[in-house]
A and B are shown apart, each in its own frame.
Chain A
Amino acid sequence: MVWARRLWFRLQTLFHRCRVADELDDEIQFHLDQQIAENIAAGMSGEEATRRARIKFGGIELAKQECRDARGVPLLETVWLDARYALRTLRKSPSFTAVAVLTLALGIGANTAVFSVVNGLVLRSLPVERPNELIFLENARYGPGQSFPNYKDLRDGNHTFAGLVGYRIAPMEMETDTGPQRIWGYLATGNYFDVLGVHPVLGRFFNQSEDRHPGGNPYAVLSYSAWRSRFGADPAIVGKTIRLNRLPYTVLGVAPPDFHGTELFYWPEVWVPMMMEPRIESNAWLDERDTWNTWIVGRLKPKVSPTQAEADLNAVAAEMARQFPDVNGDLHFKVTKPGLIGNTVGTPAKAFALGVLVLAALVLLAACTNLASMFTARATDRLRELAVRLAIGAGRGRVVRQVLTETLLLSLVGGGAGYVLAAFLARALSRWRAPMDFPVQFDVESDWRVFLFALASAIIAGALFGSAPAWRVSRIDPNAALRGASTAWGRGRLALRDLLVVVQVALCFVLVSASFLALQGLQQALEMNLGFRPQQVATAAFELNLAGYTPERGRAFQQQALQAIQQLPGVQSAAYSNSVPLSIDQSHTGVFPADKTDLQPSDRIGVAFYQVSPGFFATMGTKLLAGREFTWHDDTKSPQVAIVNLAFARRILHNPDAVGKHFRGGVLGPFAEVIGVVEDGKYESLTESPEPVVFWSILQSYNSTTTVEVKSALPATQMVAEIRQAIARLDPELPLYGVGSLEQMLGFAFFPTRAAAIALSAFGILAIMLATTGIHGLVAYAVSRRTHEIGIRMAIGARPGEVLRLVLGKTAALLVLGSLVGLTLALAVGQAISSVVYEMQPRDPLVIVSAWIAIALLGLFASWSPARRAMRVDPMVALRYE
């Protein structure tokens, strides 16, 4: 307990300095009084007794100082004193302090906000038991998807996992008070909750024995937010029935509030046992070994490394390949971190986040440079004060510490403001729901990691920008300074402040060119040939299988709906398909060239496919390069036909003019005849290179998932309302989703580019603001210090132009030097930026020239007013100065 007592002492000393000082006075006064009393008793006069007592005691003040030294912790105490002194100084120049705090708040806030996203997407683990044991399974060919029979083989054949969970993101239709609504949930194997180690807040979860028979376990687990928003947090929800796809399901329980499944960006509303798949999705694939729809997350057994698990899984894969050579021929597994669908989303998302973090760090660095030169200038103005302090015996270390305390104090205040700013931004981002049917949502709210990051940034920033003035102060020559020499610190050579401006301009150049690149990338993305023209096209989607339609009735309904829509006023053309390019729902298939007779699994070529109705290409504005579109006669009664894109024609049919050629769609599939070739486009992302795509006639291969595309000159909002009504007249119960203009729907595809443009533009603007104030500060300071010199020069006949050159010559040189350094840096960090920006060419001369022009304008703007002041110097006034 000794340490506790000591600590108490220190604190007591710190916070009750006055009381302690009074106590010390009282204690010593008591002593003196006792001595005086004794002296008087010995026969002295009152005055003499007091004098003798004081002599006997010795140096009273010295003793008091020694007591304080013995007591206080000198370091802690001086820190306290320094902090109070710094506060006083800062309060004396409120505008300076405000600018510094604002600069820091923006710099640290930007970094902390970006870090919150990195934290939420990369660093944070899933809210389950021992999340470090969890892995996500990917295979070399199909990425995240595995077939369900393969899942069962892996689950039963491995030796390294405590459990393997199979699951799938699935939309379903839930009956609500306001009619049926499309919601998103998970299909999950019975061991899902047990393996993840999640515990219900209400009721219970389903288990292994409740996931045995296809269609036999109509149970549902609600997410916490669905329970609150859809069922008013009904405490008696357990045991009640909800209707999914028009069938009753019993609610078993409610998941905890922070559990949203194993994907960090997706918030499901409901979990349903995997065996209910045939009732939830339009096609049953639980027994299909070649349908790769299942995602797998596994929990490693204790002390098993991911590498061991990977080896174990691939041993099982070898056996699976032996059993089913045509499907599992080249099966190879890889384990990755769960949360971002393995590397599919994880790798680009991490690269993006880290790239933005690097740029944010540059912004903070620019802010520090600014502050460093502000504080160095201030230290110069306080030269005399500091010199006096040194002269009367303050140690150099003590003075330097005083300067550092001031900068650290400021950066802590600025960092606190920045943290609040970032927490606010992160909260807004967490609440934000992208305007899409698919529930993309991130939890990036700040936690202790974000707080520590902000604190560390503040301390590092404070130390960084404090080191420049501290270094200056440590080199003060009090003798020269007190003699009034304003040149106590060297001049002429490239001084520290000049160096800081070069760094600042360089950083500004990097950030400005990065934001130009991002804007240019966004513009290119917006103007890019997508292979279709989204302008003036409205879409609406529905799922007929979920709504209880048989394929026959569904086919008829699709055509009725199309006819009804085509008759709406203002409609130029309309069509339907299973999906549209660049939406989330993309399908893939394997095709085989026609010239092969002995088909091997390795001959299979993966392509994306769409099932489209007649009029699809006309409505979407896709150019038909050769052949014809589908007609209403391309149905089940006529031979199989296909339209392919140019990449398909070139790569698979080896001929851009592929009309009349044949290929096989699937191992046993019939030959299909190519009747048309269309231009290439973008199908899954804006950054992909041309991918082979085949379009089937939806009349020949029915799909219950239906997207209607309508081209019309009417405003999208009006068109959408009319489409809704037209479909409601046919089936008032049918829920629609993805309703809106096609351009709106493409928001998902444009999201990364938009986010990059917004983030980088913000950084660019911040950098410009910082560089402007930095350069302005430099020039204004130079002018104010050289007023005298300018006055003399003008008095002996210098013309304003020459004065201008005197003032701006060096600034211009610094700007050029900074831009050159910045250019080099920009090329060096180009890699980091290119991961953020679509189709970025870091060496784009246009961008470099624009950045240069921006810097030049900025320099001109920033030095305008101080330069004018220099030219207006009145020699008489200037010479009388001082």
Chain B
Amino acid sequence: MAKPNDLVQGTLDLLILKTLSLEPKHGWAIAKRIQQISGEVLQVQQGSLYPALHRLEQKAWIKAKWKETETGRQAKFYSLTVAGRAQLEKEAANWSRLSAAINLVVETT
């Protein structure tokens, strides 16, 4: 299933953290949000989203709480912890450095 828009691990973590930085969301909303923002380019493998969420929760970067959605159903909402916010800044900085470097290599002829 190697598609060009497959997400490498680590990148998914960054995307999840970034998505959660504005407000708490449940898993479905996170997947949707990433898809929308990236202009449908990034397709989150739904099967790998949940393990990633649980892993982040285990690392105490995000925390979970059962809440009601607008439609009145119970859903598990994830939100960023303080440690998670710090991690997001770190990973975002890393990403910028990395992508800038790759850009440089790719665009230099």
Q: Which residues of A are in contact with B by a Cβ distance under 8 Å?
A: 2, 5-6, 9, 23-24, 26-28, 30-31, 33-35, 56-60, 62-64, 66-71
Contact = CB atoms under 8 A, between A and B. Distances in A.
Contacts of A68: 54
Contacts of B66: 23
Interface string B47-75: 11011111101101000001000000111
Contacts of B52: 70
17 contacts: A5-B60, A23-B76, A27-B26, A27-B75, A28-B50, A30-B26, A30-B28, A56-B46, A59-B47, A60-B47, A63-B48, A66-B51, A66-B54, A67-B50, A68-B54, A70-B54, A70-B55
Interface residues of B, number: 23
A71 B57 contact: yes
Contacts, number: 70
B54 A31 contact: no
B83 interface: yes
B27 interface: yes
A27 B58 contact: no
B28 A2 contact: no
Contacts of A71: 54-55, 57-58
Given A6-B58, A66-B51, A67-B54, A30 B46 contact: no
A9 B57 CA distance: 9
Nearest to A2: B60
Interface in B6-65: 26-28, 31, 45-48, 50-55, 57-58, 60
Given A70-B55, A71-B54, A58 B46 contact: yes
Given A27-B27, A30-B76, 20 more contacts: A2-B83, A6-B60, A9-B57, A26-B74, A27-B75, A27-B76, A30-B26, A30-B27, A30-B73, A30-B75, A33-B73, A35-B28, A57-B46, A58-B46, A58-B48, A63-B46, A63-B47, A66-B54, A70-B55, A70-B58
A66 B47 CA distance: 9
A57 B47 contact: yes
Contacts of A27: 26-27, 50, 75-76
Contacts of B51: 63, 66-67, 69-70
Nearest to A27: B76
A31 B27 contact: yes
A31 B77 CA distance: 12
**8 tightest A-B contacts by CB?**
A58-B47, A66-B51, A70-B55, A70-B54, A34-B28, A67-B54, A63-B47, A5-B60
Contacts of B31: 31
Contacts of B75: 27, 30
A183 to B, nearest CB: 66
B9 to A, nearest CB: 12
A800 to B, nearest CB: 68
B45 A58 contact: yes
Contact of B58 (A9, A23, A34, A60): A9
Interface in B73-93: 73-76, 83
Contacts of B57: 9, 71
A33 B31 CA distance: 14
A64 B54 CA distance: 10
A20 to B, nearest CB: 10
Contacts of A33: 73
A194 to B, nearest CB: 55
A363 B24 CA distance: 63
Contacts of A28: 50
Most buried by B among A6, A34, A56, A58: A34
B60 A31 contact: no
A5 B66 CA distance: 18
Nearest to A35: B28
A68 B50 CA distance: 10
Most buried by A among B45, B50, B53, B75: B50
B56 to A, nearest CB: 9
A59 B45 CA distance: 11
A59 B53 CA distance: 16
Contact of A63 (B50, B74, B76): B50
A457 B57 CA distance: 40
Nearest to A5: B60
B47 A31 contact: no
Nearest to B76: A27
Nearest to B53: A67
A24 B57 CA distance: 13
Contacts of A24: 50
A59 B83 CA distance: 31
B105 to A, nearest CB: 33
Contacts of A67: 50-51, 53-54
A30 B45 CA distance: 16
Contacts of A58: 45-48
A65 to B, nearest CB: 9
Nearest to A33: B73
Contacts of B76: 23, 26-27, 30
Contacts of A26: 74, 76
A33 B46 CA distance: 13
Contacts of A64: 50
Most buried by A among B48, B60, B74: B60
A26 B64 CA distance: 14
A69 B31 CA distance: 21
A127 B84 CA distance: 52
Nearest to A65: B51
Contacts of B46: 31, 35, 56-58, 63
A63 to B, nearest CB: 5
A34 B51 CA distance: 19
A63 B55 CA distance: 12
Nearest to A68: B54
Contacts of A23: 66, 76
Contacts of B50: 24, 27-28, 31, 63-64, 66-67
Nearest to A4: B60
Contacts of B26: 27, 30-31
A31 B51 CA distance: 14
Nearest to B73: A30
Contacts of B60: 2, 5-6
A672 B73 CA distance: 113
Contacts of A6: 58, 60
B46 to A, nearest CB: 5
A129 B95 CA distance: 62
Nearest to B52: A70
Nearest to B26: A30
A30 B25 CA distance: 13
